[in-house]
Structure 1
Amino acid sequence: MIELFFIVEESSDGGYTARALGESIFTEGETIKEIKEAIKDAVKCHFELEDLPKIIRIHFVKDEVLTI
């Protein structure tokens, strides 16, 4: 695997949640720095050393509501 993609969203309880696309990896963190470190740790736990992806792409999603 060359690349692994994560979707990061703000949690309703505060902080962030991240989930991998195509893999069963889910993690949380309070800050952007923490979520990035949590993603790295989760990927290292999920894959064997020789199977680690070369690149991890993170897509931040932010929902906003506008009223008229």
Structure 2
Amino acid sequence: MSEIIFEVREDEIDGGYTASALGYGIDTQANTIEELRAMVKDAVKCYFDESMPAPKIIRLHFVRDEVLVQ
């Protein structure tokens, strides 16, 4: 595997960010984008071990919901 994709959402109520890997049971959260990047790298390192090589690329896909009120 060469790439893993995380869906990233900003918590508009409490602040901070959550990230979930697509197709894997990897989830993490952080207060800032910089912290989130470090947490995602650490989570990927912990999830993959010697029996399953870690992906070379970690992609963060930022999802933004916009609500329109009439």
Distance 1:30 1:65 in 2: 23
TM superposition outliers: structure 1 runs of 4+ over 6 Å: none
- Alignment correspondent of 2:19: 18
What TM-score do the two structures reach when normalised by structure 2?
0.88
Distance 2:31 2:65 in 1: 18
Long gaps (5+) in structure 1: none
Residue type of the alignment partner of 1:27: T
Residue type of the alignment partner of 2:59: R
Distance 1:41 1:28 in 2: 12
- How far residue 22 of structure 1 moved from its aligned partner, in angstroms, is 0.8
Distance 1:30 1:36 in 2: 11
- Alignment correspondent of 1:63: 65
Q: 1 or 2, which has the higher helix percentage?
A: 1
What TM-score do the two structures reach when normalised by structure 1?
0.90
Distance 1:13 1:46 in 2: 27
**SS in structure 2 at match of 1:41:** helix
Equivalent pairs: percent with the same residue? 56
Long gaps (5+) in structure 2: none
Q: Mapping of 1:40-55 within 5 angstroms?
A: 40-48=41-49, 51-55=53-57
- How far residue 35 of structure 1 moved from its aligned partner, in angstroms, is 0.7
